[in-house]
């Protein structure tokens, strides 16, 4: 897949006003998503969010160990 880098740079740096460091840290998929060209799947439901939170908790007991 050949990407149109001049167009993507113009959109990211000028239109989205991303800093160059932020622009270059993005993957092409992330940049396309920011530009509104994502897959656009259905939003996550409450149960899906609960499962995600259980799998990746914000804090664990190890976070409080000294």
**How many domains would you assign to the chain?**
1
Length of the chain: 66
Does 12 map to a domain? yes
Other beta carbons within 10 Å of 16:
14
| 46 in any annotated domain | no
Query: What pTM does this model have?
Result: 0.53
pLDDT in tens, 12-53: 999 999 999 999 999 988 888 888 876 666 677 899 889 989
Rg (C-alpha) for the chain, rounded Å, is: 18
CA distance 66 to 22: 34
Q: Is residue 25 situated within a structural domain?
A: yes
Dihedrals phi, psi of 19, to nearest 5 degrees: -70, 150
Q: Which domain holds residue 9?
A: 1-38
């Amino acid at each position: 897949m050949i990407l149109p880098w001049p167009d993507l740079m113009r959109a990211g740096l000028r239109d989205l006003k991303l800093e160059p460091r932020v622009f270059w840290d993005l993957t092409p998929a992330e940049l396309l998503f920011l530009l509104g060209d994502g897959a656009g799947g259905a939003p996550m439901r409450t149960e899906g969010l609960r499962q995600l939170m259980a799998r990746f908790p914000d804090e664990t007991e190890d976070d409080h160990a000294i």
